[in-house]
Chains A and B, each alone.
Chain A
């Protein structure tokens, strides 16, 4: 990686002051914020970014919030290991605890932060290869679209076909979390679902609404209403240490064999955590049976447009949706 300066600000204000006010043509060289460094350092080692300076957020106390109360408030610096091992989060926001526990390896979870996990860049092998200058790096095409596309998007793709790599993002959108970020005009809070952007909506070079000098500050997750429980199922090609090939976050109110209501979000199938709204609408008020789970899977995949190598993600997502319901029904998850 290129030699860089490191700054260690104490406050959000100091930190954002060290970041560029807007992204310029030479954005590859501009200062970057770093929390756990688990993604930024790999990008720097691969020369995807070559910042002149790195703003280490480790000493910014405002990002350390951790409150498990009526709702769950997690500062950006909360480590994934802490979330994964908190038994109360495991009991009340199961999908989030399961998602955090599914990330990478124990070493990485100990260092990696929630904020970094939500803001990490895609894992597409073209994007990560220095010598493949794809559309997300200022090139003119998405190489996956006509190339080796096994790991890429089947929903919401174009002009880039990356999938969002964050496990926690999928779980948190399912749990109706809100995100707070710093802006020039003060803090702004919005549903996490609106934080992520499709390549056809926002800039194709980014995955969320954060501007160059903004920081993700915290996440707030409301308490699940009475009778609801949630689960996160991540399917990895390699059980030890891998990103999802497909993931399902499901929260539902199940009563007497009936699905009162459900929220279903898919991971690793689209450039953003993918709300399966048609399936959610269908599920409300249905009996919880394998036939209904199967139908929900079909509706969730209705708009899927696979590339050459990833049609398998359609039956995979459908299978995981069935397994997620089976898991909730059997009491395997809360």
Chain B
């Protein structure tokens, strides 16, 4: 295997390790649950991404075939991470926050965990 390829694999592995570590450290350091949510949703996407890039480079250099699995993993990750974050945030808000803790919605209805959607609009507007 080429030295340059090995170097690139090593660099992406190190980068991913650093971001994974920082993401976990953020969980410990930040105090409030909503702040803690920021650490895993971001710092770890690059952490996982780095491992996937390294894996793609390695298998391409070794077998000559481009492996698509890693691309799919990153697509699934990008699709599912925001939804998990949204669920955690909503659960936290439903349990710990009152209507008065949040700013005004600047819309004709209030926020969706406190207010019902207006009858005339289809339910499909709800995205979460």
Do chains A and B stick together as partners? no
